Amino acid sequence: MCPSSPASKEIRARIIEKFEHLQGETLASSYAQALNIFFDLSLEYESLEDFKSLCVFVPDICLSIPSSLYMMGKKGDLWLHRTTNPRKVFLFPEPISPDSASLSVLRYGDCWAFPIRHTQTGNRILGLLCLHRSLSQEEEAFFIVYASRIAKIIDAKEAASSNQHRLTFINTLIRDIGHNVIVPNMHFKLLFLQMGKQIVQLERKVENLPPFKYGDHGMDPRQEILFGIANLRNQLSIISMQFQQASLFLESLLRREHFEKGNYALLLRPCNFRSQILEPQIERFRPLLLDQGIRVEMDPEVCVDEDIVLEADLGLISQAFANLLSNAVKYTKAVPTPWGTSSKTLHYGWKSVANAFGL
Position 269 scores a pLDDT of 92
* In-domain check, residue 194: no
Which CATH number do you get for residue 303? 3.30.565.10
- The domain in which residue 338 lies consists of 266-359
194-202, long-range: CB < 8 A, 24+ apart: 195/236, 196/233, 196/236, 196/240, 199/229, 199/232, 199/233, 199/236, 202/229
- Shared-domain flag, residues 146 and 276: no
* In-domain check, residue 305: yes
- Shared-domain flag, residues 146 and 14: yes
Look at the chain and report how many structural domains it folds into. 2
Last residue of a domain, one of 139, 164, 189: 164
Dump pLDDT digits (tens) for 290-300.
999 999 988 88
Last residue of a domain, one of 164, 182, 211: 164
- Shared-domain flag, residues 270 and 143: no
- Shared-domain flag, residues 14 and 159: yes
- Strands 67-72 and 125-131, by their bridges, are antiparallel
- Shared-domain flag, residues 151 and 29: yes
Q: Examine the pLDDT at 207 and tell me if it is beyond 90.
A: no
In degrees, rounded to 5, the angle at the alpha carbon of residue 85 between the alpha carbons of residues 80 and 86 is 60
* In-domain check, residue 202: no
* In-domain check, residue 219: no
Dump pLDDT digits (tens) for 109-136.
778 889 888 877 656 788 899 998 888 8
Which CATH number do you get for residue 23? 3.30.450.40
Nearest to 53 by CA among 88, 12, 102, 98: 12
Last residue of a domain, one of 164, 185, 217: 164
- Shared-domain flag, residues 20 and 156: yes
Position 6 scores a pLDDT of 61
**pLDDT-derived band at 1, boundaries 50, 70, 90:** very low
pTM across the whole model: 0.60
Dump pLDDT digits (tens) for 215-250.
555 567 777 888 888 888 888 888 888 888 888 888
* In-domain check, residue 134: yes
* In-domain check, residue 124: yes
* In-domain check, residue 225: no
Q: What proportion of the chain, given as a percentage, has pLDDT over 70?
A: 86
* In-domain check, residue 176: no
- Shared-domain flag, residues 137 and 275: no
Burial 164-190 (b: 16+ CB within 10 A, else e): eeeeeeeeeebeeeeeeebeeeeeeee
- Shared-domain flag, residues 135 and 283: no
- Under 8 Å between Cβ of 325 and 285: yes
- Shared-domain flag, residues 28 and 158: yes
Q: Examine the pLDDT at 357 and tell me if it is beyond 90.
A: no
Per the model's pLDDT, the better-predicted residue between 21 and 358 turns out to be 21
Cα–Cα distances in Å, from 47 out to 125, 154, 210?
21, 10, 81
